[in-house]
Amino acid sequence: MSDAVLNQFTQAVEEENKIDASKKLKVGIIGTGWIAEAHIESYKQMPDVEIVAGADLIPGKAEKFFKKYGVEGVRCYPDHKAMLDAEELDAVSVCTYNATHAECTIYALEKGVNVLLEKPMCVTTEEAVEIMRAEKKSGKILSIGFQPRLDNNMKMVKQIVQSGELGQIYYIQTGGGRRRGIPNSTFIEKKTAGIGALGDIGCYSLDMVLNAIGYPKPLTVSGYKSNYFGTNPLYNNPKDAARFDVDDFAAAFIRLEGDIVLDFRIAWAMHVDTPGDTIIMGTKGALRIPSTDCWNGSIGGPMTIYHDMAGNHVETKIPMCSNPPCGLFYQKIRSFLDAVKEGGKAPVPTSQILYNQAILDGIVKSAECGREIEIQIPEI
Ligand SMILES: NC(=O)c1ccc[n+]([C@@H]2O[C@H](COP(=O)([O-])OP(=O)(O)OC[C@H]3O[C@@H](n4cnc5c(N)ncnc54)[C@H](O)[C@@H]3O)[C@@H](O)[C@H]2O)c1
């Protein structure tokens, strides 16, 4: 092990900021399903937040949700429009399924409300562009909910790449998988989710590596997708198998600006333990990031840098970093609200996540036409 290399990559000590609670932010939640629980749990801990409104398409769901969390006096609405028409809000969490991300976010921005939008950004590149046009017109803050990148281990991936220790990056293998890990509910139908494993967990793998290398523009993609497991009652609940119409596996070869290639695969189910570790190869070194059994955007163990020193092959293990006890979700929401209060920049900006979305959509479009395609992104 090389101490000289390792010493560059020690964990930064984080300072806790004191929250100024003299002005309360009026917050609403659109979509009171599963992930909204993580949002409300964090909001409830913040002294500068007043949760004033909520909306859900399912009658009575929002009311039940706020009651469960003991938040009183919240006005509930049958959809995002009714809520945004009636309320004067500082910020909303868009916690709806993927297929309604664009309409809810655009409407909120048009009403002058700052938005924290759950991942993936949306379903198609065209929707992402429409969202960004609304964002630009509104001048409001729109941040996308990629909390894994706040993990100190993920920050370390970026720190290693940006340090130059790997040299010029030319090839990346990434993705993630689960031997069996198909979700149910609204995740498995196009009408609600739009895309399957790609949007649920594929977007995390892409963010891990693209964020580390500075989000270069994607140029072309040759993609493949299938759903042999989700549609099969042997591997999925028969009722869910009958309605399953999204991808449960996808693979792609993507060319990025800067002569970098990205080799990607993602699986909700497969007959193997892992589709491989993430590997970032550069002209001076390579980084291996261990995969996990159930990919959800966290690093599976200590990373290794492979490089040469005085003519010898050397391997440097990077110890795992700890994370603050408040959790990644709290940090994601706090960083968004701090940007709202201070007029700062979105912590996870659409200018980056547009490329993540364009790759996901490019994989779908390439798979559907059976050949490599150019990634076209209209002017914002
Ligand atoms: N960041 C994370 O770790 C994480 C984890 C899980 C899910 N997610 C994301 O969160 C989103 C929601 O996932 P979920 O598991 O909570 O789904 P869910 O189906 O449990 O909840 C979504 C809710 O949104 C409501 N809804 C849809 N359109 C609406 C509209 N126009 N107005 C009001 N309500 C509307 C639905 O009725 C439903 O109750 C997805 O995009 C998913 O990818 C993120």
Ligand 1 pocket mutation pick from 95, 207, 246 by most atoms within 8 angstroms of CB = 95
Helices 203-213, 350-369: inter-axial angle, 10-degree rounding: 130
User: Does the CB atom of residue 296 touch ligand 1 within 6 A?
Assistant: no
Which whole number is the average pLDDT over 166-180? 97
Residue 9: the pLDDT is: 74
Residue 241 pLDDT > 50: yes
Residue 13: the pLDDT is: 56
User: Does the CB atom of residue 61 touch ligand 1 within 6 A?
Assistant: yes
Maximum Cα interatomic distance, the chain, rounded to a whole number of Å: 69
Residue 12: the pLDDT is: 58
Nearest-angstrom CA–CA distance, 204 and 151: 12
Nearest-angstrom CA–CA distance, 24 and 51: 10
Query: Are 30 and 58 within 8 A, CB to CB?
Result: no
Nearest-angstrom CA–CA distance, 90 and 341: 9
Nearest-angstrom CA–CA distance, 267 and 274: 9
The protein residue whose alpha carbon is closest to atom 37 in ligand 1 is: 57
The protein residue whose alpha carbon is closest to atom 4 in ligand 1 is: 35
User: Does the CB atom of residue 58 touch ligand 1 within 6 A?
Assistant: yes
Q: For residue 245, how far is the Cα from the chain centroid?
A: 22
Per-residue pLDDT band at 65 (split at 50, 70, 90): very high
**Reduced to 3 states, what is the DSSP secondary structure of residue 139?**
coil
Query: Are 80 and 96 within 8 A, CB to CB?
Result: yes
Residue 3: the pLDDT is: 65
Which whole number is the average pLDDT over 288-310? 96
Radius of gyration over every alpha carbon of the chain, rounded to an integer in angstroms: 21
pLDDT per residue over 18-37, tens digit each?
899 999 999 999 999 999 99
- Scored b (16 or more CB within 10 A) or e, 140-165 reads bbbbbbbbbbbbbbbbbbbbbbeeeb
Nearest-angstrom CA–CA distance, 74 and 50: 9
Residue 296 pLDDT > 80: yes
Residue 18: the pLDDT is: 84
For residue 269, the CA-to-ligand 1 centroid distance in Å is: 22
Residue 317 pLDDT > 50: yes
User: Does the CB atom of residue 104 touch ligand 1 within 6 A?
Assistant: yes
Atom of ligand 1 at shortest distance to CA of 296? 3
User: Does the CB atom of residue 320 touch ligand 1 within 6 A?
Assistant: no
Domains and CATH numbers, the chain: 25-147+329-348 (3.40.50.720), 149-324+357-374 (3.30.360.10)
Q: Among 206, 153, 209, 160, which Cα is nearest to 307's?
A: 160
Per-residue pLDDT band at 1 (split at 50, 70, 90): very low
Query: Are 362 and 375 within 8 A, CB to CB?
Result: yes
Residue 15 pLDDT > 60: no
Residue 8: the pLDDT is: 72
How long, in residues, is the chain? Answer: 380
Ligand 1 pocket mutation pick from 29, 35, 191 by most atoms within 8 angstroms of CB = 35
Write the single-letter amino acid at 192.
T
User: Does the CB atom of residue 40 touch ligand 1 within 6 A?
Assistant: no
- Scored b (16 or more CB within 10 A) or e, 93-116 reads bbbbbbbbbbbbbbbbbebebbbb
What share of the chain has pLDDT > 70, as a percent?
Answer: 96
Residue 5: the pLDDT is: 65
Give the mean pLDDT of the chain. Answer: 96
For residue 273, CA distances in Å to 34, 102, 206, 228, 351 come to 27, 35, 20, 17, 34
Nearest-angstrom CA–CA distance, 203 and 207: 6
